Amino acid sequence: MRVKILGSAAGGGFPQWNCSCANCRRLREGKFKGTARTQAQLAWSSAPGQWTLLNASPDLRFQIEATPELWPQEGTRHSPIRDVIVPSAEVDQMLGLLLLREFHSFRIHTTPSIRRILTEDNSMFGVLARFAGQVCWNDIPLDQPFCAGGARLEVLSLSGSFPGFVSSARLAELNPAEAVIGLLISPELGGGMLAFLPGAACVSDALLERLQTCDVVLFDGTFWSDEEPSFIPGVTRTARQMGHLPVSGSGGSLERLAALRRARKIYVHINNTNPILDEESMEQRMVRDAGWEVAWDGMEMTL
């Protein structure tokens, strides 16, 4: 099973259109040692010519064009994309669905709560229901493994919350456990296991134990420190309050996941303000010295 990281940045990407933090500014000036990154997006293939998307990022059109395996392979209208997994209703994880509206049939796998937010509260998603069978919505069960795109998937419950745009009336009807899900992914016919956790506010002992069985852990690399978001104008919450365990500090992911010896550990969903993007920074050196990798667009692995 081939897995490709098509996008490795957090919401907004790197550089972010309205940001002139030290990272974004220096990247635009050509003075930054490191690469631009699109918003978090994964894809995997278990069979030739068949691909599954994990996340549906706002950069999806660009990410597909940057990946020849995802180009049309046969006829005048075709796409190897058969399945899309949507792990939250946040804009940077679902907006890309609207970019797949050109009369292509595919399956969307998500929780019932996320499906209701998208299809019942946002009439724009009618662009995916223009003909019978355009999109087939499959509910992801929280309590048992399920199959999609030639892989076996298991939900890791995370303590995330629904997006701020969801009305309080709707929130009252939804299951909070279905707001944000992490996933364990392995080939249906055996092979390694990958954990996808781009938004994790904490690591419970149970989660840590589960990750010990993984071969690859793609973990929340949004912020370096808990207070990093407070330097962003308009943001008043800490990293943890935003649902992202910081990399550094007491109880941060570097410390909390130090016990993970088996897995290849990779930070994904990296915010443009995070100093680990800078290949010459002390922070990136600390991460590398601790055995971590920093994801980049186009990174590929085999399970």
Q: Does 232 engage in binding with Zn ion (CB under 5 A)?
A: no
Q: Which two three-digit tokens encode residue 284? A: 């990136």
Nearest to 221 by CA among 300, 301, 293: 293
Q: Which of residues 260-289 bind Zn ion (CB under 5 A)?
A: 272
Amino acid, single-letter form, for residue 74:
E
Kindly tell me which of 22 and 136 has the beta carbon lying closer to Zn ion.
22
Nearest to 42 by CA among 210, 216, 224: 216
Kindly tell me which of 24 and 174 has the beta carbon lying closer to Zn ion.
24
| Pairwise CA distance, residues 282 & 84, whole Å | 37
Q: Does 10 engage in binding with Zn ion (CB under 5 A)?
A: no
Amino acid, single-letter form, for residue 107:
R
Cβ–Cβ < 8 Å for 257, 248: no
Residue 11 C-beta: closest distance to Zn ion, Å: 12
Q: Does 19 engage in binding with Zn ion (CB under 5 A)?
A: yes
Kindly tell me which of 248 and 272 has the beta carbon lying closer to Zn ion.
272
* Binding residue for Zn ion, selected from 1, 5, 24, 303, defined by CB under 5 A: 24
Kindly tell me which of 18 and 168 has the beta carbon lying closer to Zn ion.
18
Q: Does 151 engage in binding with Zn ion (CB under 5 A)?
A: no
Taken in order 265, 55, 65, 26, the sign of the CA dihedral is negative
Q: Cα–Cα–Cα angle for 56, 59, 61, nearest 5°?
A: 90
Dihedral angle, C-alpha 63, 68, 70, 74, nearest 10 °: 150
Cβ–Cβ < 8 Å for 154, 140: no
Residue 14 C-beta: closest distance to Zn ion, Å: 7
Q: Does 9 engage in binding with Zn ion (CB under 5 A)?
A: no
Q: Does 21 engage in binding with Zn ion (CB under 5 A)?
A: yes
The CA–CA distances, whole Å, from 11 to 38, 41, 62, 96, 298 equal: 9, 11, 15, 12, 18
Kindly tell me which of 11 and 80 has the beta carbon lying closer to Zn ion.
11
Residue 273 C-beta: closest distance to Zn ion, Å: 5
Number of residues that bind Zn ion (CB under 5 A): 4
Kindly tell me which of 37 and 115 has the beta carbon lying closer to Zn ion.
37
The CA–CA distances, whole Å, from 300 to 154, 162, 266, 269 equal: 22, 30, 12, 16
Q: Give the interface segment with Zn ion, choosing from 23-31, 120-128, 203-211, 238-246 (CB under 5 A).
A: 23-31
Residue 27 C-beta: closest distance to Zn ion, Å: 8
Q: Per-residue string for binding with Zn ion, 86-115, x by CB under 5 A? A: ------------------------------
Residue 94 C-beta: closest distance to Zn ion, Å: 23
Local structure of residue 59 (DSSP, 8 states): T
Catalog residues that contact Zn ion under the rule CB under 5 A: 19, 21, 24, 272
